[in-house]
Structure 1
């Protein structure tokens, strides 16, 4: 028995859940041929071939859904079994296929060109038919065959020139036979002896059902009997000649159809092996589809292959275990191997299986169960389980294990991967450790192989830990929860945690337990101290890992909080901006109204106008001005002015203008003063004034920004409007269009040569940036858009 898993006949594949993986993989295959090929994919191939297969998967994944849909449509028309191959083999043996079997081959030949075009950029190594063969297949077979048989198998044989007159004659005969037998059934001779009144067609003869106890030879020829013998199916004598003619015509039709099928089979032979090659091409595509869908189902990723013997497998997992804990393996080319220790049920076996599966699936040209993978593919992969008992050969666990290791040393190649789960687990720890160390020495004296081994043996893991040639590691155990973490930790061996796990199991099953405490007294003190030291080391490592996770989470939370605060600041900024925009829009509207009132003469005094301007100016929302007002608010409260304290030519300070102003008049009743601001005099309430500052406050520039409100109308209906109103509305809307406030503008002005339309078309000539045309052929409306 070969031990190398790449020979695909090793019984040790069973330990890797291999059959279940193959079932999942082949479940994505359409053809039975592909399902049969899947198990044979596991063999040694050079990196060049594997990289080619992986590239196929990359290309397929670039348009995964489209490829799946297209192939599903084409494959569904073809049989899953080896039926097509059998049909093609029969033709080569000069056998004649019927129309149904030929239709299956026709669907293959029709579907192939679409698949070839779809995967043309894959550059798949294949014996493609040349263009002349493709043309012959299309013109000499597909087109002619489809004149007689549709894709769904429906036959249109009456289109054939030889068959057309025969079918017409056949229909006339059958019509006459139906009429004749219906007339016979109504005759008194038959009416009283009929089992039922309907006729039947048996053995291509039109017959009546006659009760057997009423039959006589004058009624006709007996064609068949019922299973009980109570009914005879009789052909009346007057139908016999026409029935014979019908049978002769049907025989002629069958002979012509057989000749047609023979001619089609002969035509297929002219294409040599092209149909078979096309079928084999579909098998190759189906295999790529199978691999791609399997990889997608299990979340597998592409491996990278190297020649340096570096091993980097990040976030690997077992593909059949849901929510599997992710681990990472990184070994440099000079490392001889990895030794894993730690508690039972801690994940050692799953780790070994997962790593081995990464190598096996990569060797098959498949993606692997890992986030990233960069490995050297060996020509030999070996996996040994912890129980290698061979009852069929009468070997104990230890004897069978020793035999396998000796055979391995005999057949090992220069570059191999050797994975052992619980090495020499069936003998004493001291002897097992010594044998394991010696076994590793033998492996590396004969080859440059990489070994990955799990163990509980104390001396062995201590020896390896002291060695610089191997990486020592252990699977974690959480002392607080008393559960394994399944995480792989590097740099130190781990305790087996046997006593602890024994106590946990006893508590779980509600059983009394004094075994572990007594065992501690029995155990050698040195060994116990060593195990306790490893246990404490594992505990400290677990606590450190928790702290690191907490710190990472805290860092993430802080970053998230910062993002949230940035978002809140942005929202607040947008809110304030929106509020200021509303206020400014209102002020603009008030300013426009003030302008209109002034033009119309509704404001009849300079004083009234100045007062409205001041009120309007004071209402302008200016963040800087607000901050300044808040700053002087306290000083304003402290420097309140009484109207009785003021006299003409005094100076007061105005926070509004941020400077001292001279008083030119006082109104005691209204508690207002007229002040001089430059050459302009205006009335102000003493509530808005303070005593002048000793030091001239810094000048503050007051900037007023006006934003025109946008109507946002996309359509103007000018029908019935006055020309001046129409002009104003059009001008405003065109400005909105040019400023980008609206995407287009429709102007309805009416048909004919009205004043609105004439003015508009002339007016638009001055706007070179605007493109206009009649709206959908309607000359009563004009559509305006910006030129690109």
Structure 2
């Protein structure tokens, strides 16, 4: 499908249309549907859709069927094959459908339309249909298809009953020899369930046996002789059935041309009425078709949106106006509006009704679109690069009979350069004399639209009170500065708005802003960030206590003396009256400093060392003592 058609989502319209078709040929035609280029063809297709819509509204749905598989059956008949009973019955059903469709179209002739007169091209082959219905019933050849077949089946039934009665009499006469008191069918033969030990008491042939081997299924000889006669009758029956099927198949083969014509007409009507059903769903109207390059839509709706919530679009283009530039806020419905115009043009030119109150649509040789994000990852193109590539391709193709639709013209790059590119594109479109419909945000493009001949500005409206878009298109008016207005409504201070207005428009005040106060942003207190406290210098901790300091150990408040200073882990050793302990410096409080208790060069080993350690140290200081050692407490 054409790339522009995909962008406009025209394939979704065709998918909806295909759902209303029954026959595969009609569905295939819908899938391949494209705009017609000849005015005569478009008018004819629109007339078909209109008449189908009138019939659906006033008479109802036609009795159309799928006809799947009919052509394959006709090929078999044409090649002198033999159609099965169920296949011939299906042929009869299709002829019944043709008969019902003819009757329906005859009733529609009171509407004085041309479409019902397809009835004369349909032939329900009533004689063949009656012959098929008389001789084929419930997917089998009927008993009364021929006198011989009736007689054969009567004889078969009589002989089958005789065989059963014979078997029942043998069963009653040999109850003690049987494992069950009923006859059974094994391999298509009537058998008796005989005990293995009694097999010689029943005259007959063993046909089967039970899984344990304890029971043998024996066909009595008297029954077997009758069964041979039965099989001969069944062969004759089969031959007679085959003769009848070949005869009926030959009758079908003689009417192949009629069958093919019926199939073609039903497929054509299926396609036409599918268009009518789509018109009913969309509440569509037949547009006027022109070649004067005029597009007029009154209360048009996007065909893929819920018609109960979709805001109607009113649109005019053509005559003295070749182009419309739409501006307005985001989410204001600009893209929906331009897609609505594009889809209405495509649908009208394909012979479909359009969802509007009134439409006047010109024929377009091409509908060229650039809508949405065209980023192409596989070709390593950015959004802007893909956009420009597509635009250049459109400019090469655009001509007098083209309709060009572009969204967000010049977007995706530096605003100043984007604005310049947008105006350059618009100028090129104007030179090509095509009809074009574009959307943009650039104020300079609005100015270009105001000053340039044959171009009109338009805008999508929004409610200033609720700040909600109204999705209504106003042609002849440029879009407002909605961003500043919305910012003011949402509480942006006057000072900021004044500076924004100066930066955007070169003046401090816009009429609709009414900036009477130079207020600024009222700043609120922010949450406090709590930093991790830095650890105290380890050197200060180690110097916190000195040897000999009298300290209080918390929480017991016991008094001791520092015998080892604080180490790098913050732990010191304290001599209590009864023991020495290691304790964190945070649990120790200075009671009396050592300098207040002892002379400056006081030897603390007198307090903390044992007598043995002191004597050993004194000896080591005077001479080498290899056998002495100083012991420390853990």
Q: 1:129 to 1:368 in 2, by over 3 A?
A: closer
- Residue 240 of structure 1: which of 205, 224, 228 is its match? 224
Q: TM-score, normalised by structure 2?
A: 0.71
Q: CA separation in 2, counterparts of 1:528 and 1:209? A: 107
Report the CA distance between 1:223 and its aligned residue: 4.8
Match of 1:525 in 2: 502
Q: Deviations over 1:630-681 (max 9, x none)?
A: xxxxxxxxxxxxxxxxxxxxxxxxxxxxxxxxxxxxxxxxxxxxxxxxxxxx
Q: Deviations over 1:362-396 (max 9, x none)?
A: 12211101110011021211222121112232221
- Residue 334 of structure 2: which of 348, 354, 357 is its match? 348
Q: CA separation in 2, counterparts of 1:410 and 1:418? A: 12
Report the CA distance between 1:34 and its aligned residue: 2.6
- Residue 45 of structure 2: which of 45, 53, 56 is its match? 53
- Residue 93 of structure 2: which of 88, 107, 119 is its match? 107
Report the CA distance between 1:486 and its aligned residue: 1.0
- Residue 270 of structure 2: which of 244, 263, 286 is its match? 286
Q: CA separation in 2, counterparts of 1:339 and 1:405? A: 16
Report the CA distance between 1:213 and its aligned residue: 9.6
Which structure shows the bigger proportion of residues in helix conformation? 1
Gaps in structure 1 of 5+ consecutive residues: 1-8, 508-512, 538-788
- Contact 1:474–1:492 (CA under 8 A) maintained in structure 2: yes
Match of 2:419 in 1: 433
- Residue 41 of structure 1: which of 25, 29, 33 is its match? 33
Q: CA separation in 1, counterparts of 2:220 and 2:78? A: 47
Structure with max Cα Rg? 2
Bigger RCO of structures 1 and 2 (CA < 8 A, at least 6 apart): 2
SS in 2 for 1:489: strand
Q: CA separation in 1, counterparts of 2:381 and 2:472? A: 35
Q: CA separation in 1, counterparts of 2:162 and 2:246? A: 33
- Residue 145 of structure 1: which of 104, 124, 132 is its match? 132
Q: CA separation in 2, counterparts of 1:213 and 1:15? A: 85
SS in 2 for 1:181: helix
Match of 1:376 in 2: 362
SS in 1 for 2:158: helix
Match runs of 1:639-678 below 5 Å = none
Q: Deviations over 1:396-425 (max 9, x none)?
A: 111111221222233345411111121232
Match runs of 1:402-481 below 5 Å = 402-445=388-431, 447-481=432-466
Q: 1:19 to 1:209 in 2, by over 3 A?
A: farther
Q: CA separation in 2, counterparts of 1:25 and 1:142? A: 33
Report the CA distance between 1:520 and its aligned residue: 5.0
Gaps in structure 2 of 5+ consecutive residues: 515-634
Q: CA separation in 2, counterparts of 1:212 and 1:493? A: 104
Q: CA separation in 1, counterparts of 2:213 and 2:408? A: 77
Q: Deviations over 1:218-265 (max 9, x none)?
A: 675455678998977553333223223222322222222222222222
Report the CA distance between 1:526 and its aligned residue: 4.9
SS in 1 for 2:465: coil
- Contact 1:212–1:230 (CA under 8 A) maintained in structure 2: yes
Report the CA distance between 1:275 and its aligned residue: 0.2
Matched, 1:386 2:378: no
Q: 1:167 to 1:524 in 2, by over 3 A?
A: same
Q: CA separation in 1, counterparts of 2:480 and 2:197? A: 97
Q: CA separation in 2, counterparts of 1:281 and 1:213? A: 73
Q: Deviations over 1:295-351 (max 9, x none)?
A: 112211111101211211100111232221112112232311111110011111111
Q: TM-score, normalised by structure 1?
A: 0.58
Match of 1:547 in 2: none
Q: CA separation in 1, counterparts of 2:183 and 2:488? A: 86
Q: 1:465 to 1:213 in 2, by over 3 A?
A: farther
Q: CA separation in 2, counterparts of 1:130 and 1:419? A: 44
Q: 1:228 to 1:185 in 2, by over 3 A?
A: same
Match of 1:16 in 2: 8
Q: CA separation in 2, counterparts of 1:420 and 1:203? A: 77
Match runs of 1:70-219 below 5 Å = 71-72=62-63, 75=64, 78=65, 80=66, 82-116=68-102, 118-119=104-105, 123=114, 134=123, 137-139=125-127, 141-150=128-137, 155-188=141-174, 192-194=178-180, 197=182, 199-200=184-185, 203-208=187-192
SS in 2 for 1:68: coil
Aligned length: 507
Q: 1:171 to 1:498 in 2, by over 3 A?
A: same
CA RMSD, 1 decimal: 3.6
Matched, 1:397 2:383: yes
Q: CA separation in 2, counterparts of 1:213 and 1:401? A: 94
Q: Deviations over 1:97-140 (max 9, x none)?
A: 11211121122223324424644765469999879xx59x333x
Q: Deviations over 1:560-581 (max 9, x none)?
A: xxxxxxxxxxxxxxxxxxxxxx
Q: 1:181 to 1:521 in 2, by over 3 A?
A: farther
Q: 1:56 to 1:167 in 2, by over 3 A?
A: same
Q: CA separation in 2, counterparts of 1:303 and 1:267? A: 48
- Contact 1:430–1:459 (CA under 8 A) maintained in structure 2: no
- Contact 2:179–2:215 (CA under 8 A) maintained in structure 1: no
Matched, 1:297 2:264: no
Match of 2:54 in 1: 62
Match of 1:274 in 2: 258
Q: CA separation in 2, counterparts of 1:440 and 1:212? A: 102
